[in-house]
Amino acid sequence: MDLVNPLGEIVSRVMDCSTKHLNYLRALEEKLNQLREKMAQLNELKIDVNNRVISEESRLMVRTNQVNGWMQRVEASGHEVDRILLEGGQHLERRCLNGCCPMNCWSSYKLGKKVVKKLRIMEELKRDGDFDIVAENPPRALVQELPESSTVGLDSVFGRVWSLLGENGVRIIGLYGMGGVGKTTLLKKINNELGRKSSDFDIVIWVVISKEANMTYVQELLGKNLGLSWSESVHLNSRANDIFNVLKTKKFLIFLDDIWERIDLPSIGVPPPSFENKSKIMFTTRSEEVCGLMEVDKKVRVECLSWDEAWTLFQEKVGQAALSSDIDIPKLAEIVAQECRGLPLALITIGRSMASKKTCQQWKHAISVLRNSAAEFPGMGDNVLPLLKFSYDALPNDTVRLCFLFCSLYPEDYSIFISNLIHQWIGEGYITGFDSFDEALNTGHYIIGVLKDTCLLEEGDRVRNFTDTSVKMHDVIRDLALWIACECGREKDKYFVKAGVGLLEAPKTGKLPTMAEKISLFGNNITQLGNIPKCPNLTTLLVSGNHRLEDIHNDFFLSMPALKFLDLSETIITKLPTSICELLQLEFLDLTFTRITSLPYELRKLTKLKYLALTRHTIPREIIPNLLSLEILKLDLKKSDLKKSDDSDDEMQVDIEELACLNQLKSLEITIFSGDKEVEKFLSYPQLANSARTFKILTCNEITSLTLSAASSCSSNLCLGHLKKLRGLYIGHCSELEELKFNCINKETTETGLYESLEIMTLFVLPKLIISCEVSNNLSSTYFRKLRFINLYQCDAMADLNWLLLIPNIQRLSVSKCHNLQEILSSDESGGCDETTFAYLKELDLSYLPNLCSICRRTALPFPSLETIYVLRCPKLRRLPLDSNSAKNTFKHISGNTEWWNRLEWESETYARFLKSYGRASDEISDSECHSSSDHPLNDPM
């Protein structure tokens, strides 16, 4: 008995082993089918995971390494499975005995073993693909680089401050000096230098502290840098604890720019810098007293420039063209520079304003104005504002001055989109008497140019892929504007501005000056307007940008009889207070990006309205016909807003016919949702269509074809030829739109039609769209002369974009997620692609184009205007049409992942190194940095 069991066990093991090996030989075809099915299931899972990743990436997150590795393993397994299936198919074809027996048992055995092993791997990969988290916040750079301005004269003080950072005994450093002397410029230079050199700080944080900022606001800024966030209900002490618990383990450096009073660091959660933690605080202030209150270890006064430094800076800003225009001007220029008293901001501002002055008389007049300004100013204004007011006084007329003062209603250092600003100037009545809207816009851009030329406005922050540019005010210039607006301090209550200062609630009624003419609460965190202010002289009220504002008291507007300008945009209010209908003098009303779904019928009483901006509101009938003074109208027409003959609620819905009665209308920005009939009806009113500046067609799934015709007499029912003044065309989510036809044959005249004004075209989520062209060779170059911005997103039917050759002046091309796109331009030299192609292109943005192989078949193009290139997820794009002669004097930036860079083919290694010096070739480049604006195609400010 003792021998039987072992023997049976041996036999059993032999049988199991034999069965296992026999399994490798038999049922090969069935196992191959199983493998094919498992791979298909795994690919489906991979697609699901990738979709989740894309969704998270749209929120500026990056996929985890675990997900990335898994997707790479699935990809590799897919290639292996393909080889196995190919080999298996060959084995099955070579079987003998009517397909029952393999020709080579050993080869079939190895193949079967490989299949069984691969099936097990498929199962493991499938289990591993169950992810709770697919993406996470990208790692934050140690130092966030900030834009710098001229640092002439700051080198010596920079060296002193830089050395203080290395001294162990120095914990808190204060930089103080008058406004405009260069404190912030110096602080930015130090911040950026830390980014360029190795630093032993664990984290570097930059926080701007405005004069009105409260500690809750400061905590939010700190929390954002540390990856912390809180709900409104979380108390300041709890937030402080969270900040403290993160910072206590770090060696930190915190920059606090522009503080006006002592900040109690522990109360907001910042551990006091000590010799043990080796952390540091560096701040700027206009007051030496604040340095004492902050218990600094070292304070550094940022002085005005010495004469040599000031003269160097002044000459740089004036330019040699003006200085050499007359033999006596250099001596006069020295006198003007001396009057600036070494203040960098004054030197820069006045120097640039004098750059266009080329006669001695103009320079002598400048000297007279500077010397005769005897106004007395409190505080910092004693020396700075009289000098800066010179630029204000030198403005060509009162209209420009009023437009300048209006900019002070925005927060410090806030970038204002130029198109919005000009619309507001028009709404305020500063730009009037224009026969056409183009004339008004041209006037607005002229004013912007004047204010920028005199340095009273400067270039705003660049928002990638937005078609609109922006401007902003230096904070000292903003102080100047507010001081002037209040009649040089004599009427302090005329402007009440609390913009972007982190207010959680509106000022109490008693704190609002009754004599105020303009009030700005722009860009705060106010949740409700519950008090009823008494402001009989108030003409302008900005409450926009309060993203938490959800309630306004019904009687809020009762005591504002003179109000003409009201901006409630970018709030979450759901209804208008009834008292708004008592604002009989109101001329400007902006309700865009609110949650209001329906407008009160009584709004028809506001017959003086000239500007009305709405988004997705239900507009009762008989409101629009009463607003006959409207000159600018922005609205969205949903299905519920459009008249239907069988609808019993017709009286509650606006009709396109009502819009046609607005005889004063000069600018219309309209979005039509759902229905080719409504589009066709709108286009049937030539006067209405002719006023359209922005035309958006969304979710109109019945439309299969649209025509862009140079002639207004186009035979197509859906022809956009009447939109002669259109600036922006947006077409999206029209699933059945198959053709957008460019009809560039105009038998009437080459100077009429859509193409003479169109600047922006955005096409998005149009899966079937193909663009076709009818072109008259002798006329084609006369069309699309103003079309500068093209955005394409998810237009999958397009294989190339040869129609771009009809757009000679394109400045920015953004193409994203057009999955079948293979070439941008497939034409070679003989097909129209030549040395002039993309002559004005400044920015090229290509993302998520898996099949894109080529931009242009030519080896290289000159690209004389090219500034930036962004490439993301374009794996087949191996060559850029660039050589050492391309973008010689314009190139600024190029971005791409390391893997893509490494596979690129270049004219030479020297040229490759040259291009890489202008950008980033790094795996750290996040998808969000290269995302096309077409991901949010309706966000372009118009």
Which among 347, 358, 352, 426 has a CA at the least distance from the CA of 387? 347
Asked whether the beta carbons of 506 and 490 are under 8 A apart, the reply is no
Average pLDDT, the chain: 81
Which among 794, 784, 799 has a CA at the least distance from the CA of 815? 794
Q: Is the pLDDT of residue 156 over 70?
A: yes
**Alpha carbon 663 to chain centroid distance?**
36
Which among 570, 612, 640 has a CA at the least distance from the CA of 939? 570
Token pair of 296 as six digits:
């600094």
Q: Is the pLDDT of residue 93 over 80?
A: no
Q: What are phi and psi of 921, to 5 degrees?
A: -120, 85
Per-residue pLDDT, averaged over 251-258, amounts to: 90
Per-residue pLDDT, averaged over 79-94, amounts to: 76
Q: What is the pLDDT of residues 681-715, one digit of tens each?
A: 888 888 888 899 999 999 888 889 888 876 655 65
Rounded to whole angstroms, the Cα distance separating 810 from 783 reads 12
Burial of 260 (0-12, 13-18, 19+ CB in 10 A): middle
Burial of 187 (0-12, 13-18, 19+ CB in 10 A): buried
pLDDT at 423: 95
Which among 685, 681, 619, 611 has a CA at the least distance from the CA of 651? 619
Residues contacting 294, CB < 8 A, separation 6+: 172, 174, 259, 262, 263, 281, 283
Q: What is the pLDDT of residues 599-649, one digit of tens each?
A: 888 899 999 999 999 887 667 778 888 999 999 999 887 655 454 444 444
- DSSP codes of every residue in 595-638: ---B--GGGGG-TT--EEE-SS-B--TTSGGG-TT--EEEEEE-
Identify the bridge partners of residue 299 per DSSP, sorted by sequence position: 174
Question: β-strand 172-176 against 770-775: which pairing, if any?
Answer: unpaired
pLDDT at 14: 46
Strands (E) located in 397-454:
416-417
Rounded to whole angstroms, the Cα distance separating 543 from 577 reads 14
Number of residues that make up the chain: 942
Rounded to whole angstroms, the Cα distance separating 593 from 591 reads 7
Q: What is the pLDDT of residues 527-560, one digit of tens each?
A: 999 888 899 999 999 999 999 999 999 999 999 9
Token pair of 739 as six digits:
């053709």
pLDDT at 769: 94
What is the edge-to-edge ordering of all strands in the sheet holding 280-285?
A: 203-208, 252-259, 280-285, 172-176, 298-301
Most confident of 199-208, 225-234, 283-292, 522-531: 522-531
- Tell me how far CA of residue 897 lies from CA of 670, 821, 890, 901, in angstroms: 40, 20, 22, 6
**Alpha carbon 205 to chain centroid distance?**
22
pLDDT at 632: 93
Q: Which long-range contacts (CB under 8 A, 24 or more apart) does 570-574 make?
A: 570/544, 570/545, 570/546, 570/594, 571/543, 571/544, 571/545, 571/546, 571/547, 572/547, 572/548, 573/549, 574/550
Rounded to whole angstroms, the Cα distance separating 5 from 9 reads 6
Identify the bridge partners of residue 708 per DSSP, sorted by sequence position: 742
Angle of CA points 797, 833, 806, to nearest 5°: 60
Q: How many CB atoms lie within 10 A of CB 923?
A: 9
Residue 755's SS3 state is helix
Rounded to whole angstroms, the Cα distance separating 626 from 600 reads 13
H or E element in which residue 868 lies? strand 868-872
What band does 233 get if pLDDT is binned at 50, 70 and 90?
confident
Model pTM score: 0.69
72 half-sphere exposure, CB direction, 13 A CA radius? 7
- Tell me how far CA of residue 97 lies from CA of 23, 29, 89, 93, 783, in angstroms: 19, 16, 17, 12, 73
Asked whether the beta carbons of 885 and 910 are under 8 A apart, the reply is no
Place of tokens 């305020």: 428
pLDDT at 381: 45
Asked whether the beta carbons of 347 and 313 are under 8 A apart, the reply is yes
Rounded to whole angstroms, the Cα distance separating 877 from 892 reads 21
Residue type at 9 in one-letter notation: E
Q: Domains in the chain, ordered, with CATH?
A: 19-136 (no CATH), 155-301 (3.40.50.300), 395-490 (1.10.10.10)
Question: β-strand 495-497 against 528-529: which pairing, if any?
Answer: unpaired
Asked whether the beta carbons of 162 and 278 are under 8 A apart, the reply is no
What band does 749 get if pLDDT is binned at 50, 70 and 90?
very low
- DSSP codes of every residue in 111-141: HHHHHHHHHHHHHHHHHHT--S--EEPPPPP
620 half-sphere exposure, CB direction, 13 A CA radius? 10
Rounded to whole angstroms, the Cα distance separating 428 from 403 reads 9
Token pair of 770 as six digits:
């193909």
Rounded to whole angstroms, the Cα distance separating 365 from 455 reads 19
Q: What is the pLDDT of residues 19-53, one digit of tens each?
A: 455 555 556 677 778 888 888 888 888 888 888 87
Which among 591, 534, 523, 596 has a CA at the least distance from the CA of 561? 534
pLDDT at 683: 86
pLDDT at 330: 93
Q: What is the pLDDT of residues 499-521, one digit of tens each?
A: 998 899 998 877 788 889 999 99
Which among 223, 307, 292 has a CA at the least distance from the CA of 261? 292
Asked whether the beta carbons of 321 and 212 are under 8 A apart, the reply is no
Residues contacting 634, CB < 8 A, separation 6+: 592, 612, 613, 614, 615, 668, 669, 670, 694
Asked whether the beta carbons of 116 and 88 are under 8 A apart, the reply is no
Task: Lowest mean pLDDT of 226-230, 244-248, 465-469, 890-894, name the range.
Answer: 465-469
Place of tokens 């589009």: 679
Residues contacting 812, CB < 8 A, separation 6+: 465, 467, 788, 789, 790, 841, 842, 843, 844, 845
Angle of CA points 730, 736, 740, to nearest 5°: 50
Angle of CA points 312, 316, 319, to nearest 5°: 130
Token pair of 180 as six digits:
């405009």
Helices (H), 58-104: 65-93
Rounded to whole angstroms, the Cα distance separating 364 from 59 reads 57
What band does 933 get if pLDDT is binned at 50, 70 and 90?
very low
